[in-house]
Amino acid sequence: MKSKDSVFRVLLDFIYPPLCLSCGRLMGSGAEKLCGDCWGSIPRLSSEDHLYRETREKLLLDGAVDDLRALFLFEKGGAFQHIAHAVKYRSYESLARMLGRTLGESLKGEEREYDVLVPVPLHRVKFRERGYNQAELIAQGVHEVTAIPVAASAVRRVRHTRTQTKLSHDERRKNMDGAFEPDAVGMLNGARVLLIDDVITTGATTTACAAAIRLGGASRVVAAAVALARKDSDALV
Ligand SMILES: [Zn+2]
């Protein structure tokens, strides 16, 4: 006998046929949002990639981040853009968790290097609009695989920042100045933090958030993103 969940799934698949988010192909079940071909088409980043090295260098130079982990390359019009967009605007919370688990798998073996996962917070106005924080869902996925605890309230976004798409690196940094605050100074005392985000573009948000985490007492901050995007890729997703 089928469980209630799978009966519901079949019903959902009937009403909304499960189409691949990226290529639109009809798939076997709605449990997956992306077909195998599209998953396979997303370029994986390696530590040798130019964009990875460039982004990491910039983050380290800004001073608040100690290292960078990232999985995919965000390409304009690529499969990952469709995923990131769906996660942000179409409430595919299970997909965000799945991305988190994939990121978690890539961190296997270094779990002991971190005490806590801190998702980049949304401003409460935005959180209310969207109903969830995709970085927090990703962090939950990472937690499912690595068992590193999530501290979603360790930092707050205290300022609603304007969209950064058209700004230069320096302008973005200024724009993000004071955007985050630690929830309580000392809360993260000595903690080795893995800072979780969906997509890193210039790193201005990452740096501002990492600085607040350090103010909270953290001894080490490694940034982890599901994907990196080039500045000109319009990764406003
Ligand atoms: Zn597809």
pLDDT band at 26 (very low <50, low <70, confident <90, very high): confident
User: Would 9 be classed as within a structural domain?
Assistant: no
For residue 34, the CA-to-ligand 1 centroid distance in Å is 5
For residue 32, the CA-to-ligand 1 centroid distance in Å is 10
For residue 234, the CA-to-ligand 1 centroid distance in Å is 22
pLDDT tens-digit series, residues 64-80 = 999 999 999 888 888 78
For residue 172, the CA-to-ligand 1 centroid distance in Å is 34
pLDDT tens-digit series, residues 111-143 = 999 999 999 999 988 888 888 898 999 999 999
For residue 155, the CA-to-ligand 1 centroid distance in Å is 37
Number of independent structural domains in the chain: 1
**Residues of the chain with pLDDT > 70: what percent?**
86
User: Would 208 be classed as within a structural domain?
Assistant: yes
For residue 31, the CA-to-ligand 1 centroid distance in Å is 14
User: Would 125 be classed as within a structural domain?
Assistant: yes
For residue 35, the CA-to-ligand 1 centroid distance in Å is 4
For residue 85, the CA-to-ligand 1 centroid distance in Å is 15
pLDDT of residue 237: 46
User: Would 88 be classed as within a structural domain?
Assistant: no
Mean pLDDT for all residues in the chain: 85
Residue 170 reports pLDDT greater than 80 = no
For residue 52, the CA-to-ligand 1 centroid distance in Å is 26
**What distance lies between CA 111 and its chain's CA centroid?**
18
DSSP conformation letters of the chain = ---HHHHHHHHHHHHS--B-TTT--B-S-TT-SS-HHHHHHSPBP-TTSHHHHHHHHHHHHHSS--EEEEEEEE-TTSHHHHHHHHHHHS--HHHHHHHHHHHHHHTTT-GGG-SEEEEPPPBHHHHHHHSS-HHHHHHHHHHHHH-PPB-TTSEEE-S-PPP-TT--HHHHHHHHTT-EEESSTTTTTT-EEEEEEEEESSSHHHHHHHHHHHHTT-SEEEEEEEEEE-GGG-TT-
pLDDT tens-digit series, residues 147-167 = 999 999 999 999 877 666 677
For residue 78, the CA-to-ligand 1 centroid distance in Å is 11
User: Would 107 be classed as within a structural domain?
Assistant: yes
**Domain of 132?**
44-74+99-233
For residue 46, the CA-to-ligand 1 centroid distance in Å is 23
User: Would 38 be classed as within a structural domain?
Assistant: no
pLDDT of residue 68: 98
d(C-alpha 146, C-alpha 114), whole Å: 10
For residue 39, the CA-to-ligand 1 centroid distance in Å is 7
**Letter for the amino acid at 150?**
V
User: Would 19 be classed as within a structural domain?
Assistant: no
User: Would 8 be classed as within a structural domain?
Assistant: no
For residue 28, the CA-to-ligand 1 centroid distance in Å is 12
**Which CATH number goes with the domain that contains 124?**
3.40.50.2020
